[in-house]
Amino acid sequence: MEIAVVGTGYVGLVTGVCLTEIGHYVTCIDIDEDKINLMREGISPIYEPGLSDLMKKNIDEGRLTFTSNHSEGFANKKVIYIAVGTPQTKEGKADLQYVEKVAADIGHHINNDVIVVTKSTVPVGTNEKVREIIRELVNGKFEVEIVSNPEFLREGSAVQDTFHGDRIVIGADSDKAASVLEEINRPFGIPIYKTDIRSAEMIKYASNAFLATKISFVNEISNLCEKLGANVEDVATGMGMDDRIGNKFLKAGIGYGGSCFPKDTSALVQIAGYVQHDFNLLKSVIEVNNDQRRLLVKKAKERFGNIEGKRVAVLGLAFKPNTDDMREAASITLCEELIQSGAEVVAYDPIAIPNAKKILPQSIQYADSVENALENADFAFIVTEWDEVKNTELDVYIKKMKTPVIFDGRNCYALEEAAKYAVEYHSVGRKTQFGI
């Protein structure tokens, strides 16, 4: 099938490229000329394992093209995907200006009937609005159908997730449009769930809100475990053996970050507000997460009293491993609080430093390895569980640091392992002899 994808961020580019891999002909459209030129060379502007290889292969085989020109991109396409960002406004709402702009571009530039597929995460009712904008502009000249097809990709494993996802959700009001989407997606071999447009829009928000709830729930349990002398990892394992609960997304830590959970939970609280529904549960999930991000600074202050003048090694900056994405990363809150408290911060991340430099306080120093970050530090924060961080022998902390005091926000080391070394090891939800 001939398809156009508008927006080449994580969602758009991964979607477009993976659609070519299953045999479709895709033109990816973006307004950023520099990005388009880069992508034409098969270079991915985002760090996503496996993506560049698939781009090169499908460009060479003639299925994948790029353009910044909408009329050229839309020409003869029966299906157009919208995959632009819906960032969070100051009030926590989903900002729909980019989606609406694409709808207008479609309305102005198409020259045949189209099915418009929304991949972007949009509040319930938005697809109908998009359809209205386009229909008004084409003024009866062409038939316009709309389909909600939310994505469930995780950064860092987006390509893998596209080929091995749990389900593909297709929300449509017309059987014809739903069948076309089914046909496009069939080669993925993933179960397809068809529903109406509004329910599909809601599935995306409800899924992300539920996963965020699981994380905040286990983080609250971990805070209790610390106070009551239980071990959150054992508790999560025991809970997860119940099929109704499941063992995924029960890893305690310093909270969720990234481009989706924080934004989508806030947006759902707002969406509920529009229909006079107070989503108290979700508000608490957000509040627990905001507190959890501060956990390591709280622990360090309990341990040292005053941390002014202390040299702190921050290991990992990205919101999770295998990505350079700094959006809503716990490291932002932690670094800001450390600097405000007068600490000297030396940070290390394998790939996120260029992005971190754009948003973290100016006074932060950056190291080029875990070892160099630890050099002469009074204490260390483990913020992102990169393999490189997890595999650092505890001996290295002893050799490099002034005092080997570790606050591990991701429970990278087994307690028995830490107990073998002369380090002061604090973690999350697992009480040690050090008490915090």
Residues annotated as catalytic are: 260
Q: How far is CA 210 from CA 138, 172, 206, 213, 272, in A?
A: 39, 24, 6, 5, 15
106 and 80 in contact (C-beta within 8 Å)?
yes
- CA dist 256 and 288 (Å) reads 10
103 binds ligand UDX (CB under 6 A): no
Residue 350 touching ligand UDX (CB under 6 A): no
Indicate whether 249 belongs to the interface with ligand UDX (CB under 6 A): yes
Interface mask toward ligand UDX for 279-318; x: CB under 6 A: ----------------------------------------
Q: By the 8 A CB rule, do 258 and 328 touch?
A: yes
Q: Which of 128, 269, 248 is nearest to 206 (CA)?
A: 269
CB nearer to ligand UDX: pick between 67 and 120: 120
Cβ 250 to ligand UDX shortest distance, Å: 6
Please say whether the beta carbons of 58 and 169 come within 8 A: no
Site for ligand UDX in 171-230 (CB under 6 A): 208, 211, 215
Q: Provide, rounded to whole angstroms, the least separation between the CB of residue 249 and ligand UDX.
A: 4
Measured from the CB of residue 72, what is the shortest distance to ligand UDX in angstroms?
A: 30
Q: Residue 245: beta bridge partners?
A: none
**Between residues 98 and 249, which has the closer beta carbon with respect to ligand UDX?**
249
Query: 3-state class of 432 per DSSP?
Result: coil
Contact region for ligand UDX (CB under 6 A) — 64-72, 93-101, 246-254, 335-343?
A: 246-254
Residue ranges of alpha helices (H) inside 360-429 are: 370-374, 387-390, 394-400, 415-419
Interface with ligand UDX in residues 133-152 (CB under 6 A): 151-152
Identified binder of ligand UDX from the candidate list 74, 81, 256, 413, rule CB under 6 A:
256
Cα separation, 13 vs 67, in Å, equals: 13
Position with the least CB separation from ligand UDX = 260
Which three-class secondary structure state does DSSP give residue 187? Answer: helix
Q: Does position 18 bind ligand UDX by CB under 6 A?
A: no
> Under the rule (CB under 6 A), what is the footprint of ligand UDX?
151-155, 208, 211, 215, 249-251, 253, 256-261, 319-320
